[in-house]
Amino acid sequence: MGSTLPFLQLDVFTDRPFFGNPVAVVLDADALSTTTMQRIARWTNLSETTFVLRPTDARADYRLRIFTPDRELPFAGHPTLGSARAVLHSGRPTQRDDATLIQECAAGLVRLRRDGNRLFFEVPSARTTPVAETDAAAIAGALGLGTESEQPGFEAIDVGPIWLTATLRDADQVHELAPDFARLADLSRRLGATGVNVHANYPAGYRDRRGEAVQVAVRSFAPAAGVPEDPVCGSGNACVALQRRARGEHHDYTATQGEAIGREGRITVAYRGEAIEVGGNTVVGIEGRINLD
């Protein structure tokens, strides 16, 4: 057998296989070149593929590089959670007990907390800027929001990835969107964003098909990064949590994402003082080795 590395594929933001957002994780990847990492990410054809390396910062437990099929990202949420689960599942040594991990990535150090089978990441420092009205109208049009009264204001929220984020009228409007992905890709590139991210509240007391209470519906579109619709997006949900807090909402909640493409992601958001944590369950789906020769 030629050169191989440990490989896992995990489902994130779900407690059931095949219902969340998969991420491929390659462990012990220090010897791989950037070109090889990008080629592997293009081959897996998942929204993200990650590579776990030795940290360069002594405070971190490991270093992570994150790739879409088209590019490297400084940070992404569901790959962070899935990779942390892979590190713990494979028994890689950590500096602390299993309740806390520190990830090093291009966006800096990210703190993770373990709560049973759920993992939470602390939302990195963010920068928010308003999107010009003409650009917001163009985004709304690309999403299929036809009338002027339905055109929401967008903000560019930078948590590593930059998401053009807006609140819509209600959860039904979120679910009924029929985006023009080519137009969204062009707008995202022109505005220097990863993609477009929308959210809205469910009616009070709403329960999903499993009878679980959920409060917020989310969809995230990143065709410019090779991901027309992200099944369940951690960084997108971080932007939603930041936008909601900026508007005076500080209550923990559970969000849904992925129904439009056959998934049932569940994201838990916790406001802990000045910090915001985004988390959920993770499931190991595939465990083996990837052949590099």
**Count of domains in the chain?**
2
Catalytic residue among 48, 155, 229, 264: 48
pLDDT score recorded for residue 188: 98
Ranges 96-105, 112-121, 182-191, most confident: 182-191
**Residue 236 sits in a domain of what CATH number?**
3.10.310.10
* Judgement on whether residues 139 and 268 belong to the same structural domain of the protein: yes
Do 190 and 135 share a structural domain?
Answer: yes
Same domain, 182 and 284: no
Separation CA 26–CA 168 (nearest Å): 37
Percentage, residues of the chain above pLDDT 70: 97
pLDDT more than 90, % of the chain: 88
Query: For residue 99, is pLDDT > 90?
Result: no
Two structure tokens written together for 48:
């993200």
- 150 part of the active site: no
pLDDT at 1 over 90: no
Domain of 32?
4-122+280-291
What is the per-residue pLDDT for 231? 93
Q: In the predicted model, is pLDDT for residue 96 greater than 80?
A: no
The pLDDT score that the predictor gives to residue 166 is 98
pLDDT in tens, 223-282: 998 889 999 999 999 999 999 999 999 999 999 999 999 999 999 999 999 999 999 999
Q: Do 99 and 140 lie in a common domain?
A: no
Residues 105 and 214 occupy one common structural domain:
no
- In this structure, are 17 and 87 located in the same domain? yes
pLDDT digits (tens, 9 = 90+) for 135-147: 999 999 999 997 6
- For residues 165 and 261, state if they share a domain: yes
Give the mean pLDDT of 115-123: 93
Q: Are residues 168 and 83 in the same domain?
A: no
Each residue of 153-184: pLDDT tens digit? 999 999 989 999 999 999 999 999 999 999 99
Summary mean pLDDT of the chain: 94
Q: Are residues 101 and 181 in the same domain?
A: no
Residues 218 and 82 in one domain: no
Question: Rounded to 10 degrees, what is the CA torsion of 74, 79, 80, 81?
Answer: 160
Shared domain for 65 and 9, answered yes or no, is yes
Residues 136 and 265 in one domain: yes
Kindly report the three-state secondary structure assignment for every residue of the chain.
CCCEEEEEEEEECCCCCCCCEEEEEECCCCCCCHHHHHHHHHHHCCCCEEEEECCCCCCCCEEEEEECCCCEECCCHHHHHHHHHHHHHCCCCCCCCCCEEEEEECCEEEEEEEECCEEEEECCCCEEEECCHHHHHHHHHHHCCCCHHHCCCCEEEECCCEEEEEECCCHHHHHHCCCCHHHHHHHHHHCCCCEEEEEEECCCCCECCCCCECCEEEEEEEHHHCEEEECCCHHHHHHHHHHHHHCCCCCCEEEEECHHHCCCEEEEEEEECCEEEEEEEEEEEEEEEEECC
Task: Name 187's Cβ contacts closer than 8 Å, sequence gap at least 6.
Answer: 135, 138, 139, 142, 164, 193, 196
The pLDDT of residue 2 is 66
